[in-house]
Amino acid sequence: MRVGLFRRGTAEPVDLGPCLVHSAPVQRALEATRRWFSYGGLAWPAGPVIGVDLRETADGGVHVTIVAARGGALPRDVVDALADHVEVLRGVGLVEGDPRSSYWADGAVRVLRGPGRIEVPAPDSVGGRLLVPVGGFFQAAPRALDPVHHRMRAHLAPAGGPLVDLYCGVGLHGLALAGPGEFLVGIETSASAVAAARENAGRRGVRAEFVAAPVERVLADLLAGHRPGAVVLNPPRAGCRPEVLEALSARPPGRAAYLSCNPFTLVRDLERLVDGGAVVTTIVPWDLLPQTDHVEVLALLEWPAVRPGPGRTR
């Protein structure tokens, strides 16, 4: 069995062995998972398991999501064997996937063992722990976000109005950036992520409202009632839908920070925002996924017609 990263442009994993990027609990769980894979010939194509997703929990444990080929049977004793091999196991989920794709998982994660939500370590810019639904999106290397949040905060503060966090997930960026007394509004498609975001904000005493809906469906109405002081965007790789960019251009904030995992869709979206009156003041690449060819890019924007003057980022 090979444990590592995909060879570029393929679904073929390259075995990396010990990895300095992983935390100690994840590294130990990786080695235990190698032994588990030998149990009963689990590895695809002989067996049902395409791969596993390991996520560190805040108490030093690991949650494991098993990715199985569609229609593949996973007997109960297989899950029990995983618990025997991974001493720090905090839970197990199961999701179906496509072995021909490097983006395996497809669909909702079914909880096989443990709770439906886990607590994960938060970056220092947020502090403490964050609740995340099993199978929910979260940054692979959250501790690497501190300098990103610092750069965002220097550009956005003071917001001078509500801080709007688009594609907010469990509230990671908004909670890092909301200043004392500022009101946070988050929009996210996943209802389970929104439920976690509400609890994460409540734990920190942040005044917040979170909406469970596609951003493109509700943003225009939200902006019609309240012009935001600042906006944070962290969309999926496909970038923003045109309706989102049109809504921002029609009722722009003072400033915005756009964190993208796809430079190509970022360029497309920035062109549309600039056409709508925005000015891109700074673009910074960030290596948030070490040992991969993925680069996150932070773009800082402002709308001079809305908020000219001091505080611009150079």
pTM for the full model? Answer: 0.89
168 given a catalytic annotation: no
Quote the CA–CA distance of 52 and 135 in Å, as a whole number. Answer: 12
* pLDDT score of 104: 60
Residues 50/69, Cβ–Cβ less than 8 Å: yes
Side-chain half-sphere exposure of 77, counting CA atoms within 13 A? 2
Angle formed by the axes of helices 242-250 and 263-275, nearest 10°:
30
SS (H, E, C) the chain: CCCEEECCCCCCEEECCCCCCCCHHHHHHHHHHHHHHCCCCCECCCCCEEEEEEEECCCCCEEEEEEEECCCCCCHHHHHHHHHHCCCEEEEEEEEECCCCCCCECCCCEEEECCCEEEEECCCCCCCEEEEECCCCCCCCHHHHHHHHHHHHHHHCCCCCCEEEECCCCCHHHHHHCCCCCCEEEEECCHHHHHHHHHHHHHHCCCEEEEECCHHHHHHHHHHHCCCCEEEECCCCCCCCHHHHHHHHHCCCCEEEEEECCHHHHHHHHHHHHHCCCEEEEEEEECCCCCCCCCEEEEEEECCCCCCCCCCCC
Residue 84: which residues within 8 A CB-CB, separation 6 or more? none
Express each pLDDT in 192-235 by its tens digit. 999 999 999 999 999 999 999 999 999 999 999 878 999 999 99
Per-residue pLDDT 10s for the chain (314 aa) are 666 677 777 767 777 777 767 788 888 888 888 888 777 678 888 888 888 888 999 999 999 998 888 776 777 888 888 888 888 999 999 988 887 776 666 678 899 999 999 999 999 999 999 999 998 888 877 888 999 999 999 999 887 889 999 999 999 999 999 988 899 999 999 999 999 999 999 999 999 999 999 999 999 999 998 789 999 999 999 999 999 999 999 999 999 999 999 999 999 999 999 999 999 999 999 998 777 778 999 999 999 977 543 333 33
Give all domains of the chain, ordered by start, each with its CATH number: 4-114 (2.40.50.1070), 138-302 (3.40.50.150)
Dihedral pair phi/psi, residue 158, rounded to 5°: -75, 145
Tokens 């801080």 appear where? 163
Cα gap 263→280, rounded to integer Å: 14
